[in-house]
């Protein structure tokens, strides 16, 4: 909580939390942002894949660490959407500081020089300074009448233009939340992409069906000379089943912490009461891998979502599927996470074949692949 700051959406409560969550959710779900993210993803993937082809042309195949590649691509795209920062020195500096910051999220709470928490707090301060400079420059341009465009180009614009006297969104609140929203770009989305490729590599039948679905879409679009839109990627039914199953079995976010603001009767029955003030860890993994809810829960089986109600995959609290949380604190970027993963998988399977070199999932302190999921890719002819 100290690293996040008192203004963080993860710490805020009441009307202010609902305001920030609502504004961020509407921004992340907007068709305009999805179209921009799709174009950015295609552009960045094309550049990365050109480099893979050039390496593969030497005859040995190109070795790619999926986790590292996904982090590079997703981080820059999301940061651009959040604060309008383009590729360059400042982006590289921000990424460097963010790596130091995020390492302290799960660390010993000792704030002395040389400790991880101390280093992370210093990195947070440097990131906050950079972001607040961007906010102040935006405010200056608006004050001088140089930036009166009605279109919100990034999330800072949205939060700056939607404050009110009752619920003022300060520069500190905006900068704190920009840093919070960068966490999925470093952790959640790249790990989701990486795990999907790992599970597909271990399940040839699923990989074959996903490849056929994506190749068919590519052919349809090529025949009429159209570029894929964000809606096309999201329309890939089996690809969405693969992503849903990866979320279930991968448990990228293993749990969330909540504080009881009053005495809570579990399931409305008085025999189990969580006292006011207690902290609760809601452990998603125990639900997602429960044999009473899922047949053969430890098996990667995307076909299970054909039979199940896909509405259950929208993280509603009673569904037994909650990788994005639920209720008032449902992750506002869930659609964007699915979209970015769909785009990455589409362009990988339609342009390359690959051989996985073997890796293992590490679950503590956060979920990741121990070696970054190395694969050897070969361009399709």
Residue 48 falls within a domain, yes or no?
yes
Residue 319 falls within a domain, yes or no?
yes
Question: CA-CA distance, 179 to 155, in Å (whole number)?
Answer: 12
Question: CA-CA distance, 71 to 325, in Å (whole number)?
Answer: 22
Give the per-residue pLDDT at 312: 53
Residue ranges of the chain with per-residue pLDDT less than 70:
60, 146-152, 163-168, 269, 309-319
Residue 362 falls within a domain, yes or no?
yes
Of 240, 221, 228, the residue nearest 311 (C-alpha): 240
Question: CA-CA distance, 229 to 305, in Å (whole number)?
Answer: 24
Q: What is the pTM of this model?
A: 0.92
Give the per-residue pLDDT at 318: 56
Give the per-residue pLDDT at 309: 57
State the total domains in the chain.
1
Of 334, 248, 281, 311, the residue nearest 21 (C-alpha): 334
* Angle between the N-to-C axes of helices 31-56 and 14-29, in degrees from 0 to 180, rounded to the nearest 10: 60
Phi and psi angles of residue 257, each rounded to the nearest 5 degrees, phi first:
-105, 140
Residue 272 falls within a domain, yes or no?
no
Tell me whether residue 279 is annotated as binding: no
- Residue for token digits 């966490």? 183
Residue 8 falls within a domain, yes or no?
no
- 98-148 pLDDT, tens digit per residue, is 999 999 988 898 999 999 999 999 999 999 999 999 999 998 888 777 665
CATH number of the domain enclosing 348: 1.10.630.10
Phi and psi angles of residue 41, each rounded to the nearest 5 degrees, phi first:
-60, -45
Give the per-residue pLDDT at 366: 85
Residue 32 falls within a domain, yes or no?
yes
Residue 281 falls within a domain, yes or no?
no
Give the per-residue pLDDT at 167: 58
Residue 369 falls within a domain, yes or no?
yes
- What is the distance, to the nearest Å, from the Cα of residue 313 to the centroid of all Cα atoms in its chain? 16
Give the per-residue pLDDT at 85: 93
Give the per-residue pLDDT at 148: 54
Boundaries of domain holding 311? 14-253+290-379
Is the Cβ–Cβ distance between 22 and 28 less than 8 Å? Answer: no
């Amino acid at each position: 909580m100290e690293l996040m700051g008192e203004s963080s959406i993860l710490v805020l409560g009441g009307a202010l939390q609902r305001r920030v969550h609502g504004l961020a959710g509407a921004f992340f779900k907007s068709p305009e942002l999805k179209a921009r993210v799709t174009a950015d993803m295609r552009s960045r993937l094309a550049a990365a894949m050109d480099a893979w082809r050039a390496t593969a042309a030497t005859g040995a195949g190109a070795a790619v660490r999926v986790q590292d590649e996904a982090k590079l691509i997703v981080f820059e795209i999301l940061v651009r959407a959040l604060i309008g920062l383009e590729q360059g020195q400042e982006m590289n500096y921000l990424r460097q500081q963010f790596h130091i910051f995020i390492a302290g999220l799960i660390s010993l709470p000792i704030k002395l020089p040389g400790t991880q928490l101390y280093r992370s707090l210093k990195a947070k301060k440097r990131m906050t300074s950079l972001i607040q400079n961007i906010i102040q420059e935006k405010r200056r341009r608006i004050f001088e009448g140089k930036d009166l465009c009605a279109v919100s180009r990034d999330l800072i614009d949205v939060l700056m233009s939607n404050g009110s006297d009752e619920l003022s969104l300060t520069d500190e609140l905006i900068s704190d939340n920009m840093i919070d929203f960068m966490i999925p770009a470093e952790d959640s989305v790249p790990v989701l992409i990486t795990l999907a490729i790992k599970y597909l590599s271990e399940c040839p039948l699923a990989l074959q069906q996903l490849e056929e679905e994506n190749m068919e879409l590519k052919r349809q679009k090529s025949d009429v000379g159209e570029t894929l839109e964000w809606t096309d990627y999201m329309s890939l039914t089996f690809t969405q089943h693969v992503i849903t199953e990866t979320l279930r079995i991968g448990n990228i976010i293993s749990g969330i912490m909540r504080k009881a603001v009053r005495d809570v009767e579990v399931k409305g029955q008085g025999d189990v009461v969580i006292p006011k003030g207690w902290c609760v860890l809601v452990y998603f993994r125990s639900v997602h891998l429960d044999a009473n809810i899922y047949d053969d829960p430890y098996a990667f089986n995307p076909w299970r979502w054909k039979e199940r109600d896909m509405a259950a995959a929208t993280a509603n609290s009673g569904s037994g599927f909650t990788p994005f949380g639920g209720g008032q604190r449902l992750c506002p970027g869930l659609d964007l996470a699915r979209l970015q993963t769909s785009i990455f998988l589409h362009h990988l399977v339609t342009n390359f074949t690959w051989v996985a070199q073997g890796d293992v999932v590490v679950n503590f302190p956060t979920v990741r692949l121990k070696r970054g999921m190395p694969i050897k890719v070969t361009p399709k002819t």
